[in-house]
Chains A and B, each alone.
Chain A
Amino acid sequence: MITFDNVTKKYKGMSVPALDRVSFTVDAGAICGVVGLSGAGKSTLIRCMTGLERVDSGTISIGGVSISALTGAELRQAQRNLGVVFQHFNLLSQRTALQNVMFPLEVAGVARNEARDRARELLDIVGLGDKLNSYPSKLSGGQQQRVGIARALATSPKVLLCDEFTSALDPINSKSILELIMRLNADLGVTVLIVTHQLSIAEQSCDRLIVIDEGQIVENGPAKDVLESPKSRILRAMVTTLTWS
């Protein structure tokens, strides 16, 4: 469902590439974790995958569509196959929960009534059926992230990309948001890629685990195996230090 084929990305003025010949695949319906420390290349991986940055070489495809080769209207069309959940929620502060979830449908040209019905249904699924007309400022962090998840699912994407989605939440809310993602994966069959520096998140939810360090993949395998016998210097360090928090 997600394929990275030899992806390299180097920023102007940097001596080493942010992503260095990265290749991996994620099967449809899986939950895959990408872990690494700050500066390892996680953010670049997300920015390339979402089309915010162009790759220098290699291809990224999502659901068979090579997103890294597209620009303009074709790229915008392809982006609707990918829902993104953000660390800081990134909700529109001047729109209600319902209007926020309607946003991706509006820009896709879906009729207003249809968009409203779909948004209502999604907010019901994430447990916010009674907060349709609340503005983000009146919602808790956990509730805002639920709106973010509903919004990410609005265009019925095949892939849900979760970018440090629990880092801004307390442990209780983190857990319930993670459980929601796992339930959505089971119920809707959406493929999930969780990018995080928190090993505990990956351990609780992921079938597969990829570890990146200095722009390269250093581990890639079933999550259980990778965590039981970490081979890379970086994962050993993460396992034995504070990143379990």
Chain B
Amino acid sequence: MLIRLIWSALLETLLMVGAAGAVSIVLGVLVGAGLVFFSDPALGRNWPVNRYLRLDQVLSAIVNVGRSLPFLVLMVAIIPFTRMIAGTSIGTKAAIVPLTLGAIPFAARVVENSLREVDRGVVEAALVMGASPGQVVFKVMFPEALPSLVLGFTLTLVSLVNFSAMAGAVGGGGLGDLAIRYGYQRFRTDVMAATVAVLIVLVQLMQWGGQALSSTVDRRR
């Protein structure tokens, strides 16, 4: 009974984190690359559109709006949008919509930071060798930042585990929801303890896996 409860809650958490993680990482890469590209004078800062409308500042402002809402507020505030996308505002699938929307700005900043850490000398060397701004981003910045990006994505996924615990508020299920409904409201200390243990193990495994993958792709040592 206990095992079955936890198993299905774990699967719900993994579904939410996996789906929201995949989509937010893809979009975070695009937004993060845009933030760097349009703010760098050597890349896209001097694009004609940027003379009238600073695309990097627009993107940055949008990202900041997303980052300033507490997840619980975001989730409730966008219920109409969630209904439009998922067809319903209740359940695990519906919870993926706010989770994704909440994680995109986070992932975008993670990507931005990693790309900005790339050695300026290497970027300028590529430009001097006749690389176009697009080639600098995709052939120099992303490959050079790869170990740091992998760690950043790990951070994003772990944050999503945290966010997903709040998805219970919209009937999203998952481990956090189980801990509140059984562990807290029904005084099932065994469920609470087991859930906490599973969450700890889950996060440890994710962090360990992320670090292992990052060092595997790191050629700097």
Q: Which residues of A contact B (CB under 8 A)?
A: 50-52, 73, 76-77, 79-80, 82, 84, 86, 88, 90-95, 103-104, 106-108, 135-137, 151, 155
A134 to chain B, nearest CB (A): 10
A92 touches B144 (CB 8 A): yes
Give every chain B residue within 8 A of A91 (Cβ-Cβ): 122
A13 to chain B, nearest CB (A): 15
A92 touches B143 (CB 8 A): yes
Q: Which residues of B contact A (CB under 8 A)?
A: 42, 119, 121-122, 124-132, 135, 139-140, 143-144, 146, 217, 219-221
Known A-B contacts A94-B143, A95-B143, A137-B219; A86 and B125 likewise in contact (beta carbons under 8 Å): yes
Dominant secondary structure at the B interface: helix
A50 touches B128 (CB 8 A): yes
Known A-B contacts A88-B121, A90-B119, A91-B122; A107 and B219 likewise in contact (beta carbons under 8 Å): no
Q: Contacts A82-B128, A94-B146 known; list 15 others, CB within 8 Å.
A: A52-B127, A73-B132, A80-B129, A90-B124, A92-B143, A93-B219, A94-B219, A103-B131, A104-B130, A106-B139, A107-B132, A135-B219, A135-B220, A137-B219, A155-B130
A129 to chain B, nearest CB (A): 21
Partner of B130, one of A52, A77, A90, A95: A77
A107 touches B129 (CB 8 A): yes
B122 touches A107 (CB 8 A): no
Known A-B contacts A103-B129, A135-B219; A90 and B122 likewise in contact (beta carbons under 8 Å): yes
Measured in the bound complex, the distance between the Cα atoms of B144 and A137 in whole Å is 13
Name 23 interchain pairs, CB-CB below 8 A, sorted by A.
A52-B127, A73-B132, A79-B130, A80-B129, A82-B128, A84-B125, A84-B129, A86-B121, A90-B119, A90-B124, A90-B125, A91-B122, A92-B140, A94-B144, A94-B219, A103-B126, A104-B129, A104-B130, A107-B126, A107-B135, A136-B219, A137-B219, A137-B220
